[in-house]
């Protein structure tokens, strides 16, 4: 069908960049430690770093030279590898989804990164073409649709179909303001600083700081506040860039999600592969009446935690979810009438937290006396959390769908069609047994993690209802 082609030369820069990223910290460490020992050693370390950079550039170029792709006999055939030569042939009809990403570099040259995934989940996408022209990307998409449907129709520039969701500016603002990204930024900063642990004289800095802080508690509080505020602003910006232009389109057989400002992404999810729908609400969003809806999809790569969770509606009013998704996902009944856990379960929810918290509080009071009483705050918060957990636990059964809800930190509601549930488990501990309670667990398949939900302390007879609903033979027994 076609001659072997190379990626755009910019791919060599991309792959060199990937190599350099791994070298970044060791090199910085090397330069700092070398630099502190005099001019000559600084020169040597700089030379070593230079050599490392040059080598990774050369490897980048070679790997670009070695990487070819072609379309042949209804297969995408890739050959690559610097030290170990590899060939990978992927039949078009086996391709499950094609994801397109345009990073900054790709955008500058009008290119696109194509990630090709088959049904086998694995660490990474089955094939990654890191820089190809948009025309070639379209060609691949077209080959795949032809191979799958047997129809040959021109692909339009913009995917055709009905728009399911398109983020508005106020929604983007709410999304960014309520995202939990602050913690991520702070922990990233801490991780970064701890990498440089050996080179920055923290002891000295903090020693001085301590002396200073004792006299300037207010200034210190102010500094901490500024730090948090900065982290928050950064996370705000990151979220906005990531979810700007978020857009979901439903075509005949797929959902196509596009998003991003600096890095544009387009993900294709075959409707057939959707295993479950998950609605999650963090406390702030819950109070505002908003939620995030994501898809549990089979297959896909597990390498990137972020990418494995396919977010369908990043921010949406809880009330609107059902009407928004009614047409694209008619199999799901997203307005559940949840039954909750029985009253007597509440005590168990609270006790479960107290078992952990009470000893801590007791120890704190014992060791720190007056100051230890502050640990009572944990007790209050813990109890409040336990009551929230109890209130949120719930289940509902439709004809062909099980819905379970529980809370860890966020409140999570999972909708699972009966035919997508892989297995069902019920559990009764000794204490649960005595009170006629039990735990219900359901498993669905997913490309990566998150394929499981459990609801604790439901009424035993309720759990048995679900069990019977799921069991093919029990159902027959009932109906006969």
Partner 1 sequence: MKGAKPMISKPQKRISQKALTVWRISGVITSLIGWLITAAAVFLLHIFDLPGWISIILIVLAVIFPVLHIFLFPTLRWKSWRYEVREEEIELEEGIFVKTRTLVPMVRVQHVDTNQGPLLRKYKLASVVVHTAATAHTIPALEETEAEELRFFISKLARVAEEDV
22 or 474: CB nearest partner 1 = 474
Q: Across the strands, what pairs with 115? A: 99, 128
Helical pair 10-35 and 39-66, crossing angle rounded to 10 deg: 160
Q: And the tokens for 92?
A: 């078009």
249 or 424: CB nearest partner 1 = 424
Least Cβ distance, residue 353 to partner 1 (angstroms)? 19
Only one of the segments 285-293, 324-332, 398-406, 440-448 lies at the binding site for partner 1 (rule: CB under 8 A); that segment is 440-448
- How far apart CA 273 and CA 289 sit, in angstroms, is 29
Least Cβ distance, residue 169 to partner 1 (angstroms)? 39
Only one of the segments 57-65, 126-134, 153-161, 420-428 lies at the binding site for partner 1 (rule: CB under 8 A); that segment is 420-428
Contact assessment for residue 281 and residue 318, using Cβ atoms and an 8 Å cutoff: yes
Least Cβ distance, residue 53 to partner 1 (angstroms)? 44
Query: For partner 1, which residue of 152, 369, 408, 423 counts as binding (CB under 8 A)?
Result: 423
By CB under 8 A, tell whether 422 contacts partner 1.
yes
Q: Give me the half-sphere count of Cα atoms (radius 13 Å) on the Cβ side of residue 26.
A: 9
By CB under 8 A, tell whether 420 contacts partner 1.
yes
Query: For partner 1, which residue of 232, 428, 435, 454 counts as binding (CB under 8 A)?
Result: 428
Only one of the segments 206-214, 281-289, 310-318, 460-468 lies at the binding site for partner 1 (rule: CB under 8 A); that segment is 460-468
- How far apart CA 317 and CA 171 sit, in angstroms, is 10
Contact assessment for residue 119 and residue 301, using Cβ atoms and an 8 Å cutoff: no
By CB under 8 A, tell whether 444 contacts partner 1.
yes
Query: For partner 1, which residue of 298, 357, 402, 455 counts as binding (CB under 8 A)?
Result: 298
By CB under 8 A, tell whether 276 contacts partner 1.
no
- How far apart CA 288 and CA 469 sit, in angstroms, is 35
22 or 425: CB nearest partner 1 = 425
By CB under 8 A, tell whether 451 contacts partner 1.
yes
DSSP-derived pairing of the beta strands 5-6 and 68-72: antiparallel
By CB under 8 A, tell whether 471 contacts partner 1.
yes
Q: And the tokens for 426?
A: 């019920």
CB atoms within 10 A of CB 67: 23
91 or 449: CB nearest partner 1 = 449
Only one of the segments 102-110, 229-237, 244-252, 426-434 lies at the binding site for partner 1 (rule: CB under 8 A); that segment is 426-434
By CB under 8 A, tell whether 478 contacts partner 1.
yes
107 or 433: CB nearest partner 1 = 433
**202-241 per-residue burial string, b: 16 or more CB within 10 A, e: under 16:** eeeeeeeeeeeeeeeeeeeeeeeeeeeeebbebbbeebbe
HEC string of 300-362 equals: CECCCHHHHCEEEEEEEEHHHHHHHHCCCCCCCCCCCCCEECCCCHHHHHHHHHHHHHHHHHH
Only one of the segments 130-138, 170-178, 231-239, 438-446 lies at the binding site for partner 1 (rule: CB under 8 A); that segment is 438-446
End-to-end CA distance of the chain: 59
Least Cβ distance, residue 294 to partner 1 (angstroms)? 17
Q: And the tokens for 266?
A: 């387009």
By CB under 8 A, tell whether 215 contacts partner 1.
no
Spell out, one character per residue from 35 to 74, where the chain touches partner 1: x when CB under 8 A holds, - when not: ----------------------------------------
Only one of the segments 109-117, 184-192, 333-341, 416-424 lies at the binding site for partner 1 (rule: CB under 8 A); that segment is 416-424
Tell me how many degrees the CA angle 225-231-233 measures, rounded to the nearest 5: 100
- How far apart CA 157 and CA 80 sit, in angstroms, is 30
Q: Interface residues with partner 1 (CB under 8 A)?
A: 272, 298, 419-430, 433, 443-446, 451-452, 464, 467-468, 470-474, 477-478, 480
């Amino acid at each position: 069908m076609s001659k072997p082609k190379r990626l755009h030369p910019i791919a060599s820069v991309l792959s060199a960049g990937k190599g350099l990223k791994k070298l970044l910290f060791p090199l910085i460490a090397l330069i700092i430690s070398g630099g502190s020992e005099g001019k000559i050693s600084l020169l040597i370390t700089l030379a070593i770093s230079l050599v490392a950079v040059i080598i990774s550039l050369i490897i980048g170029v070679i790997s670009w030279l070695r990487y070819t792709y072609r379309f042949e006999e209804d297969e995408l055939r890739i050959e690559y590898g610097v030290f170990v030569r590899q060939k990978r042939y992927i039949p078009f009809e086996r391709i499950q989804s094609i994801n397109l990403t345009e990073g900054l570099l790709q955008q500058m040259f009008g290119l696109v990164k194509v990630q090709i995934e088959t049904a086998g989940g694995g660490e990474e996408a089955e094939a990654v073409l890191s820089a190809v022209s948009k025309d070639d990307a379209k060609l691949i998409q077209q080959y795949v649709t032809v191979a799958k449907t047997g129809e040959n129709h021109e692909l339009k520039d913009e995917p055709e179909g009905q728009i399911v969701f398109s983020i508005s500016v106020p929604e983007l603002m709410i999304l960014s303001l309520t995202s939990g990204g602050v913690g991520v930024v702070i922990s990233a900063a801490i991780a970064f600083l701890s990498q440089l642990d050996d080179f920055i004289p923290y002891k000295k800095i903090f020693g001085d700081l301590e002396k200073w802080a004792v006299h300037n508690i207010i200034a210190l509080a102010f500094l901490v506040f500024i730090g948090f505020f900065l982290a928050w602003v950064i996370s705000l910006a990151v979220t906005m860039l990531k979810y700007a232009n978020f857009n979901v389109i439903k075509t005949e057989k797929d959902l196509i999600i596009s998003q991003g400002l600096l890095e544009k992404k387009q993900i294709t999810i075959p409707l057939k592969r959707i295993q479950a729908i998950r609605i999650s609400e963090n406390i702030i969003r819950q109070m505002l009446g908003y939620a995030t809806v994501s898809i549990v999809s089979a297959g896909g790569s597990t390498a990137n935690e972020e990418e494995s969770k396919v977010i369908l509606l990043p921010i949406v009013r809880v009330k609107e979810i059902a009407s928004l998704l009614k047409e694209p996902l008619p199999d799901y009944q997203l307005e559940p009438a949840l039954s909750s856990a029985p009253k007597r379960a509440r005590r168990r929810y609270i006790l479960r937290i107290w078992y952990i918290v009470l000893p801590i509080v007791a120890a704190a009071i014992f060791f720190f006396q007056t100051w230890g009483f502050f640990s009572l705050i944990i007790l209050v918060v813990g109890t409040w959390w336990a009551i929230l957990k109890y209130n949120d636990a719930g289940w509902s059964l439709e004809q062909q769908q099980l819905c379970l809800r529980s809370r860890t930190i966020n409140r999570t509601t999972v909708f699972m069609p009966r035919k997508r549930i892989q297995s069902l488990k019920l559990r009764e501990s000794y204490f649960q047994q005595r009170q006629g309670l039990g735990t219900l667990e359901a498993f669905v398949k997913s490309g990566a993690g998150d394929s499981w939900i459990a609801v604790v302390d439901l009424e035993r007879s309720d759990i048995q209802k679900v069990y019977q609903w799921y069991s093919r033979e029990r159902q027959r027994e009932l109906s006969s």
